[in-house]
Copies of this chain bind each other. A is one copy, B any other.
Amino acid sequence: MEEIGFLGLGIMGKAMSMNLLRHGFKLTVWNRTLSRCDELVEHGATIGESPAAVIKKCKYTIAMLSDPAAALSVVFDKDGVLEQIGAGKGYIDMSTVDAETSSKISEAIALKGGSFLEAPVSGSKKPAEDGQLVILAAGERALYDAIIPAFDIMGKKSFFLGQVGNGARMKLVVNMIMGSMMNAFSEGLVLADKSGLDPQTLLDVLDLGAIANPMFKMKGPSMTKSSYPPAFPLKHQQKDMRLALALGDENAVPMPVAAAANEAFKKARSMGLGDLDFSAVHETVASSKGST
């Protein structure tokens, strides 16, 4: 494959680009803080001076940025993607952004004649390092087909979901289910505890049954110790619940369980827990005071 551009070398971007390098891809990388490029250069990457410079040099450029603001800035600001994108060039944004941000980028690139793919991922640091991400791509099918060799390195599976916005929507649906499950799990842990059952035994029983899943296994032990180191901050989970409910509102889908879960996350925010892990919603169920 030709040389690929890679914008954004945060925790995720670094892991993903290192994987590409290790599997023989040639990369031109850029990061706002240039020093983060060093390790990549040691492994053979070239540095691009700006997003525009990377786009100019490469037929395909992948971006992995921290949030919608960063995703927009890299495209629309001076020396940004728009200055060099055009016919024959493809831009693949793997950042997690809302459908609106994605559409804005998509339209601007289309106006210049370029191709666009949104491709948010499911999975965090460890799966990124292990090339085990799940990639939710949407946009131009031809670009998806062209970039599959890179997706195959970074992820264990990629999906093509149709028009731009569908990648973001699929992530919302998954995160909405996840948020409701986390609440159900929290209620179960407290119910077990207050009913005289050992929460650790509940974890063991759950892990052997039909609803066993990695999240319960991973988060349960720290939750029983009221420890919530932020892997996925509660305020971001609540935002995703809100956006999923808004999507349901648009389409007249009643979602009473998600709505109850959302209010619990809001309660947690009102308790000052928004920056902790989303499993801290557990604290809205637990109670230190005696009951009456």
Contacts and interface: CB of A to CB of B under 8 A. Distances in A.
State the oligomeric state as a number of copies.
4
Nearest to A271: B289
Contacts of A180: 180-181, 183-184, 187, 257
* Residue among A181, A212, A242, A292 with the highest chain B CB neighbour number at 10 A: A292
A41 interface: no
Contacts of A247: 191, 195
Interface string A177-195: 1101101110110111011
A266 B249 contact: yes
Contacts of A162: 196
Contacts of A208: 122, 134, 156-157
A191 B269 contact: no
A201 interface: yes
Interface string A196-212: 11100110111011111
A214 interface: yes
Contacts of A259: 259-260, 262-263
Contacts of A173: 188, 191-192, 195, 197, 202
A253 B290 contact: no
20 contacts: A122-B205, A134-B209, A161-B198, A170-B192, A173-B188, A174-B202, A174-B205, A174-B206, A176-B188, A177-B187, A178-B210, A187-B258, A194-B251, A195-B250, A242-B249, A252-B274, A254-B266, A271-B289, A272-B292, A273-B292
Given A122-B210, A157-B208, A173-B202, 10 more contacts: A173-B191, A176-B184, A180-B257, A211-B213, A238-B249, A252-B269, A252-B291, A254-B285, A271-B289, A272-B290
